[in-house]
Structure 1
Amino acid sequence: MDWNRVEGNWKQMKGKVKEQWGKLTDDDLDVIAGKRDQLEGKIQERYGYEKDRAKKDIDDWYGRQPW
């Protein structure tokens, strides 16, 4: 998986991330800045997910993107 696509296009991807994880705030998204580990941490924090669940959700979301 090439996460660089997400990092490089973060401004465009923020909307899609917010659609998927609506509990993330604009400030959260600014802090995340396309970094996968930051996204995992914020999802865990906002949703109370375990690390494995956050990773799986991100992998599933990434796989559904129409690159």
Structure 2
Amino acid sequence: MDNKEFKARWHQLRGLLKGLWGELSGNDIDFIDGQRERLVGKLQEKYNLSEKEAQRKVDELSDHL
């Protein structure tokens, strides 16, 4: 899923994110606002992941949808 499609599906993703990554707060999800790179950054910050690992997790989410 590219950035444009990710943004288009943001309302669907919002609910999933909290269930998948409970460390993300409502403010985090508001900040992400459908921007894939922001999600990668927040996963790095909250879960102490490398950029590559956070990107892989976002890619897996995208592939699942």
Runs (4+) off by over 2 Å: none
Corresponding residue for residue 28 of structure 1: 28
Q: Give the superposed CA RMSD.
A: 1.2
Corresponding residue for residue 19 of structure 2: 19
Query: TM (normalized to structure 2)?
Result: 0.88
Corresponding residue for residue 8 of structure 1: 8
State the alpha-carbon separation in 2 of the partners of residues 28 and 10 from structure 1.
14
Query: TM (normalized to structure 1)?
Result: 0.86
User: Gaps spanning 5+ residues in structure 2: where?
Assistant: none
Identity %: 34
RCO higher in structure (CA 8 A, sep ≥6): 2
The structure with the largest helix share of the pair is: 2
Number of aligned positions between the proteins: 65
Instruction: Indicate the SS of the match to 2:2.
Output: coil
Corresponding residue for residue 37 of structure 2: 37
Structure 2 counterpart of 1:14, which letter? R
User: Gaps spanning 5+ residues in structure 1: where?
Assistant: none
